[in-house]
Structure 1
Amino acid sequence: MLKKKNNRYSIFIKLMLLFLVFILLANFSIGFILSRIIGKGPPQGSPERFPVPVQKYIISRIGDPPDTNLARRVSDELQVNFRIESSGISWTNDESIPDIPRLREEKDFRSDGQNFIVRLRGRPIIVNKTDDGYIIFSPFMPRDLINETNVVIAVVLIITILAVMLYLALSWIFGPIKKLSEGVEMISEGNFDNTIIVNRKDELGNLAASINEMKENISSMIKSKESLLIDVSHELRSPLTRIKLANEFIDDPKIHNKIRDDVKEMELMITELLETYRMDHEQGKFSIEKADIVKLIKDVISKFEFKDIQFSSQFAEKEIFIDRRKIETVFRNIIDNAVKYSEGRTVAVDIYERDENRDSVFVSVKDKGRGIEEEELGKIFEPFYRIDKSRDKKIRGYGLGLSLVKKILEGHNAEIEVKSRKNEGTEFIVTFKKGITNK
């Protein structure tokens, strides 16, 4: 039994650490960029506030009416941004400072005020009213140094890089899931030779080890079951031979015939069982040759004691590539089932092509028996599945025939379709693709 490994590196812990690192990196990166930009501070000599004496000093320096040349010189000396709006004069050293018509739209604007502040989108704008106009100051704010476009680009770039790193980290953490999925899919298809290799000391590593152990256990159980069936099948041949020999000395015809039929039934079961085993373990080993399917089916029909089998064919002969012996087994089983379940009614066998599909040959076997329930149609190809749960001795068969039929047809790239209606009968349609088969 597999010992449960200690999860030294739990996936939960990995995810917690990963998201913690991601958050720290995101905050650090964005904070670093903003601090580098804002941390530069205002230009040397540019006041962050505009006390009233400073405003009065600037207003007195530029004169009344304002002289734009003096205004330019003062703004350069003090590195102050302002706008002059007066009769006949409109000047500014910063086009971002709003004019009076724009400021009048704000609720903070006071037409009768001499010195007041208007907040425009959270930014304080200082308005000084003069005799013939206004002088508008825009105080320096740290965010003035921020180029919003560059900040957005930087933040988006950082988030993108971190997202890619997060994706790569998550891909590494959950990477084994793909291997696990592929391994489980192969197991579901009956391939027990593949081993899932996940060199991890976490839950996924434990899961891979558990799946490998489960696969080995299932494979061992299947092999044990197959070995038992094959051994029993071989061992039964000798006593059956002795029974057949002893039966020849029984004088009572009724008892003799009953024993003979039972022995034949057991021999058929053993033959089908061994053939099914060979199909499972010798996949692809077919003796493919060109054969006349019309003649082959006629030969199969001729071996039945039941004579009410109506045969029809669209062609006098039709050659396709098949394993003659195995395809004989296919139609012997299908026709035998049709005869058993027809309850004495006619069985129709037809070979034809379809106008819309000239690349295929179709063989139909149709009876007028009791039919098959819709919920059972998908199960009839399972080994040992019987439609007749009562085990009626009049309807022999041990559920191996149709399973063997499907395996043989799959080896020929052929298809089989079943149509059935309760109390109206069942039709098996086998489709051979011309010139295509597994060799």
Structure 2
Amino acid sequence: MPATRWPWRRRRRHESALRAHPSTRPPARRQWRRSLRVRLVMWFVVLALVMAGVFVGGMKHSFSTGWGAVAQPLLLDYEDRIVAELGTPPDVGRAQALVARLPITLRIEGPVVNWDSHPGLRQPDFFHRGDGDDAQDRWYVRHSADGHRVTFGWAPKMWDTAPRAAGWRTLGLLLLVVLLVYAAISRLLRPLIDIRQGAERFGSGAFDQPIPVRGCDDLGELAQRINTMARDIQAMLDAKRTLLLAVSHELRSPLTRARLNAELLPESPEGAAEREALLRDLNEMRDLISDLLESERLASPHAALQREPVQLEALAREVVDELHARGVPGAQAVRIDAAEPLPDLPLDRARVRLLLRNLLDNALRHGAAAGQAPVLRLAPAPDGAGVCIEVRDFGPGVPEEQLVRLAEPFYRPDSARTRAAGGVGLGMYLCRLVAQAHGGTLSLRNARPGLAVEAELR
């Protein structure tokens, strides 16, 4: 089937995913920005840079303030000895030998000798700071007895090789430290990730897998307490489900007897209306108890489906005929739209019949005044592993703020449903449970006009 034939399926699947998971994870960029691990590592890097800056600045200030008292006299004495060794006037050969032996540069300026070991070389700015008229007062400028001026400097290799290698080593070491810290923080915060994942499982009703307790620290104690809370909640839910099943089951026998006795009442013209009203109320009670029992069975994590090959289009026509036989207004006008013949699918026939009956009954009741019959669409799932069922009516629809709660148990929007209109708020809830039991989803949208409900079964 062409990909453009059923665009409503892809759009509804996306909307269903958003509604089923309101806390959908943000994009990767935002997720990294919100990650506690990344923020802790960044704070560590900032702290390390600040500490390194403070240390370097303090050491620089310490050396600069103590330079004159400690190192400068030694350098001045050494420079005077080098000037004396050069001779009077300075010997260029000796100067070349000194430059070749020591990591220094020499510049000789005077009345006899003018020589530069590295012509055009400019020393770093901090070394030449203060050059000018007062340069003769600087520690790196010495004068010989015959009027020559000798200027000392560092050799180029001091600035080209050693600092560059040290810089790369420092950068590599910093990256290694950051990776080690990130790994340590990830290990430290792993319990928080376990707790978050466990809270998501518990929120969806999956209590079978507890949160792993990875240590005896505060996070381990927190995980243990959350596991205890989850077990208590599961016990309360199981007790509630057991009580509801027991009460519902026990009510079925007296209700059946009451209905049988009402049907055996002698018919009389004056009591016909009361008899019909009594039977109608008993039928509603019977349907309510049946729906309660079915909802609790389907809500159980161990719900078992009786799967068998089902021809879905034929089953849908059977449900429409059943509604028509029950006297539901407009049932005979329901339009079944199947894009192509569907193969026999392994489904639970009774549960799928319940889903179709509830969806069609809801569409017929709330779209009765529209003058247009509901539409039942059947199509394969987009990935080919299942089927999509959509029922749309052309009634007033449901307010957007109430749409997300429409499949909750016992929920009935006042503007769309009243008790007199039928139903107690379990029909759509049962449809959602049937879809989830088949490994699918149930999504709702306002089709404007009307309400469209899509169930995906797998």
Taking structure 2 as the reference length, what is the TM-score of the superposition?
0.68
Aligned residue identity for 2:284? E
Residue 164 of structure 1: CA displacement? 3.5
1:399 is aligned, of 405, 409, 425, to 425
Instruction: Name the residue aligned to 1:378.
Output: 404
Aligned residue identity for 1:386? R
Matched, 1:149 2:164: yes
Contact 1:348–1:367 (8 Å) recurs in 2: yes
Secondary structure in 2 matching 1:83: strand
257-266 vs 73-82, which moves further: 73-82
1:212 is aligned, of 177, 202, 227, to 227
Matched, 1:306 2:328: yes
Residue 185 of structure 1: CA displacement? 1.6
Aligned residue identity for 1:348? A
Matched, 1:171 2:214: no
Measured against aligned partners, the alpha-carbon deviations of 1:231-288 in whole angstroms (never above 9, x if no partner) come to: 1101111220221133122642112111111111111111111111221226563333
Equivalent-residue separation in structure 2 for 1:76 and 1:365 (angstroms): 93
2:282 is aligned, of 263, 275, 283, to 263
Contact 1:81–1:137 (8 Å) recurs in 2: yes
Secondary structure in 1 matching 2:140: strand
Residue 318 of structure 1: CA displacement? 4.2
Residue 180 of structure 1: CA displacement? 1.3
Residue 209 of structure 1: CA displacement? 1.7
Instruction: Name the residue aligned to 1:323.
Output: 348
Instruction: Name the residue aligned to 1:281.
Output: 300
Measured against aligned partners, the alpha-carbon deviations of 1:94-129 in whole angstroms (never above 9, x if no partner) come to: 6499689x99x965433xx8x9234xxxxx421427
Residue 353 of structure 1: CA displacement? 6.5
Measured against aligned partners, the alpha-carbon deviations of 1:118-176 in whole angstroms (never above 9, x if no partner) come to: 4xxxxx42142776753224599xx99x9433443443344344334433332332221
Change (3 A) 1:196 1:429: closer
Aligned residue identity for 1:116? Q
Aligned residue runs from structure 1 range 26-425, under 5 A: 48-51=74-77, 55=80, 58-59=83-84, 62-64=87-89, 66-71=90-95, 82-86=106-110, 89-91=113-115, 95=118, 107-110=130-133, 116-118=136-138, 124-128=139-143, 134-138=149-153, 147-247=162-262, 248-249=264-265, 251=267, 252-281=271-300, 285-304=304-323, 305-309=327-331, 310-314=333-337, 318-321=342-345, 322-343=347-368, 348-352=373-377, 363-388=389-414, 392-414=418-440, 416-420=442-446, 425=450
Contact 1:351–1:361 (8 Å) recurs in 2: no
Equivalent-residue separation in structure 2 for 1:317 and 1:355 (angstroms): 10
Instruction: Name the residue aligned to 2:27.
Output: none
Aligned residue identity for 2:406? I
Secondary structure in 1 matching 2:425: coil
Equivalent-residue separation in structure 1 for 2:226 and 2:412 (angstroms): 33
Aligned residue identity for 2:423? G
Equivalent-residue separation in structure 2 for 1:335 and 1:57 (angstroms): 106
Aligned residue identity for 1:227? T
Aligned residue identity for 2:184? A
Measured against aligned partners, the alpha-carbon deviations of 1:300-331 in whole angstroms (never above 9, x if no partner) come to: 12222125221334569644413222211111
Residue 181 of structure 1: CA displacement? 1.8
Equivalent-residue separation in structure 1 for 2:350 and 2:154 (angstroms): 100
Change (3 A) 1:408 1:134: same
Contact 1:276–1:404 (8 Å) recurs in 2: yes
How many percent identity over aligned positions? 24
Taking structure 1 as the reference length, what is the TM-score of the superposition?
0.70
Change (3 A) 1:50 1:398: same
Equivalent-residue separation in structure 1 for 2:246 and 2:129 (angstroms): 99
State the superposition RMSD in angstroms. Answer: 4.5
Residue 403 of structure 1: CA displacement? 0.9
Change (3 A) 1:231 1:51: same
Equivalent-residue separation in structure 1 for 2:98 and 2:77 (angstroms): 16
Aligned residue identity for 1:289? E
Residue 425 of structure 1: CA displacement? 3.8
Contact 1:383–1:400 (8 Å) recurs in 2: yes
Residue 340 of structure 1: CA displacement? 2.9
Structure 1 portions without partners, runs of 5+: 1-14, 39-45, 119-123
